[in-house]
């Protein structure tokens, strides 16, 4: 049996033929040599560890089609001038979401925010830099708990500012979406990030800053989210 056919047989027990097609598309273009272990299963996406043909480890995020929350996702796309109108079918929306996360990672990285480098995207499948040591994925800041809360708060605020200056709002910034890779902190999960032109960008930025403030408060670091909002945007938070 040829390698591709073998792969399909195994993975169609786990994924839909549509998703297997997209993984195989990436394999044919030498982004992947198949998939290895599952790092995380979530409500919207599963993340796998994989090896690229050059031998380096990569992370592969695969968005679910069937269990995606259409209305929730649409709210983070509609109104973002970088994306066309939201199509009324799940598959198209999830494909748009994959493209959006890829683009957000590129823009965040260009803005100097430490995110996984995006490598490739095919419909609902995203390949990016693997964050971890060897084959061990880095834990989240929620898993590790605070190590140097002053530094963690400072870096999350810096990220918010750099993203804002690059016309982006993360919109889900909290300790679950920060990986602790040795000394380094890495911001992940950018599918929901929106352009500052999105009609709810202000609300989302304030919410991110409130999350940072809550994290600080629990760990003895004071952050005033309204002041931070005004400092970052130069606009009144009221």
Ligand X SMILES: Nc1ncnc2c1ncn2[C@@H]1O[C@H](COP(=O)(O)OP(=O)(O)OP(=O)(O)O)[C@@H](O)[C@H]1O
The only residue of 98, 118, 137, 225 in contact with ligand X, by rule CB under 6 A: 137
Per partner kind, with CB cut-offs from 5 to 8 A, the member of ligand X, Mg ion, none near residue 43 is: ligand X
If one asks whether residue 46 binds Mg ion (CB under 5 A), the answer comes out as no
- Interface positions, 69-108, toward ligand X (CB under 6 A): none
If one asks whether residue 165 binds ligand X (CB under 6 A), the answer comes out as no
Decide the pairing of beta strands 184-187 and 178-181: antiparallel
| Catalytic residue flag (residue 189) | yes
Q: For residue 163, count other CB atoms closer than 10 A to its CB.
A: 28
What's the closest the beta carbon of residue 212 comes to Mg ion, in angstroms? 16
Mark the segment that binds ligand X (CB under 6 A) among 37-45, 65-73, 200-208, 211-219: 37-45
Interacting residues of 164 by C-beta distance below 8 A, sequence separation 6+: 196, 205, 232, 233
Interacting residues of 75 by C-beta distance below 8 A, sequence separation 6+: 200
Specify whether the CB–CB gap between 160 and 228 falls below 8 A: yes
The strand pairing partners of 169, in sequence order, are 194
The only residue of 46, 189, 208, 228 in contact with Mg ion, by rule CB under 5 A: 189
**What does R_g of the chain's alpha carbons equal in angstroms?**
18
| Catalytic residue flag (residue 72) | no
If one asks whether residue 131 binds ligand X (CB under 6 A), the answer comes out as yes
Catalogue the active-site residues. 172, 189
């Amino acid at each position: 049996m040829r390698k591709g056919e073998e792969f399909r047989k195994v993975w169609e027990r786990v994924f839909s033929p549509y998703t297997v097609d997209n993984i195989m598309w990436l394999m044919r273009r030498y982004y992947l040599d198949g998939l290895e272990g599952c790092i995380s299963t979530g409500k919207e996406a599963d993340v796998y560890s994989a090896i690229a043909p050059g031998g380096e480890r990569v992370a592969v995020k695969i968005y679910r089609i069937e269990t995606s929350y259409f209305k929730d996702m649409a709210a983070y796309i509609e109104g973002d001038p970088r994306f066309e109108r939201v199509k009324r079918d799940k598959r198209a929306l999830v494909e748009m979401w994959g493209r959006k996360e890829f683009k957000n990672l590129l823009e965040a990285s260009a803005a100097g925010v430490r995110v996984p480098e995006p490598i490739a995207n095919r419909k609902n499948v995203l390949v990016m830099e693997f964050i971890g040591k060897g084959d061990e994925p880095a834990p989240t800041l929620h898993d590790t708990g605070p190590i140097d809360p002053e530094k963690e708060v400072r870096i999350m605020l810096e990220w918010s500012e750099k993203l804002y200056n690059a016309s982006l709002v993360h919109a889900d910034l909290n300790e679950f979406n920060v990986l602790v890779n040795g000394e380094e902190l890495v911001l992940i999960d950018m599918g929901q990030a929106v352009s500052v032109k999105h009609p709810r960008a202000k609300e989302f930025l304030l919410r991110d800053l409130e999350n940072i403030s809550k994290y600080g408060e629990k760990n003895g670091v004071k952050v005033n989210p309204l002041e931070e909002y005004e400092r970052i945007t130069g606009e009144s938070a009221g």
